[in-house]
Structure 1
Amino acid sequence: MNRTRNIIYWIATAWLCLGLASTGIVQLLHRKEELVRMQSLAYPPYLLTIIGTWKLLAIPALLLPRMPLLKEWAYAGCFFAMSCAGISHLICAHPFADIFPSLLLLVLTLVSWYFRPAAGRPYPLLNGKAQTL
């Protein structure tokens, strides 16, 4: 069972990090397509730089061992960014093809977070129960 959890965790985390890297780089490059997309959402272009930078910073935070609190913050940031992106596209009545990438990264964030090893949790489980301080 533990081996299956590890496999699911690493597959979801690898795909999440690849998605964050690819979208973060595209956003930092201010590609024309991204600028048009941001304009259609009524967001300023400089937001691409901020979001792209934070996505790239989330990757080492998710992959580095023994930094559970930093990982939680990275997961929270990914959750907020991806859910806000999906909601923004929904509000602007964009087609599902525009909404799908953010929803996929949102699902990968949730799966990776759920299956993370105990060492990656700020408050590890002790005998199946949350450890209190």
Structure 2
Amino acid sequence: MIDGKMKTTAYWITTILGAGLLFIGGLLFITHGEHQVAEMNHLGYPVYFLIFLGIGRILGSIAIVIPRFPRLKEWAYAGFVFDLVGASASHAFVGDSLFQIASPLIFLVLIVVSWVLRPPSRKFKVQ
């Protein structure tokens, strides 16, 4: 069993890594990074989707890291699940390699572990 301090440390490591990397990706999306535009074209999506995905990733990352707002955090975690599962499926549907299909799922693991380990103060309580 994981003790409290180790759980808190693991929570913050996965949260900072997951949210931080998605935040950086969001910035690259909204600035139309060369690689991101090429990926959208390769996957068959319009380039303007990068703006929506980028804003979602940036806002979701902020929501997960800031204190309070547990309902907003739940939506942010859910949004990341949809985003990353969709990204993985998109790579599978165009016949990309197993590495390209699995890459978004690595980020998904970080996000899910962050969600599982979040402290009670960051959980939404149904009333």
**TM-based fold match above 0.5:** yes
Partner of 2:43: 41
For structure 1, the 5+ residue unaligned runs are 124-131
Q: Which amino acid aligns with 2:109?
A: V
Identify the match of residue 109 of structure 1 among 105, 111, 126: 111
When the two chains are superposed, the root-mean-square deviation of aligned CA atoms in Å is 1.3
Q: Secondary structure at the match of 1:122?
A: coil
TM-score of the pair, normalised by structure 1: 0.88
Question: Percent same amino acid among aligned pairs?
Answer: 33
Q: For 2:17 and 2:101, how far apart are their aligned partners in 1?
A: 18
Matched, 1:25 2:27: yes
Q: For 1:87 and 1:72, how far apart are their aligned partners in 2?
A: 22
Q: For 1:96 and 1:38, how far apart are their aligned partners in 2?
A: 18
Matched, 1:83 2:91: no
Partner of 2:6: 4
Partner of 1:99: 101
Partner of 1:64: 66
Partner of 1:127: none
Q: CA deviation at 1:101?
A: 3.1
Q: Which amino acid aligns with 2:89?
A: I
More helix by share: 2
TM-score of the pair, normalised by structure 2: 0.92
Structure 1, 73-82 or 31-40: larger mean CA deviation: 31-40
Alignment size in residue pairs: 125
Deviation track 1:47-83 (CA, whole Å, cap 9, x = no partner) reads 0011001101112200111110010010000111011
Q: For 2:96 and 2:24, how far apart are their aligned partners in 1?
A: 21
For structure 2, the 5+ residue unaligned runs are none
Q: CA deviation at 1:22?
A: 1.8
Q: For 1:29 and 1:66, how far apart are their aligned partners in 2?
A: 29
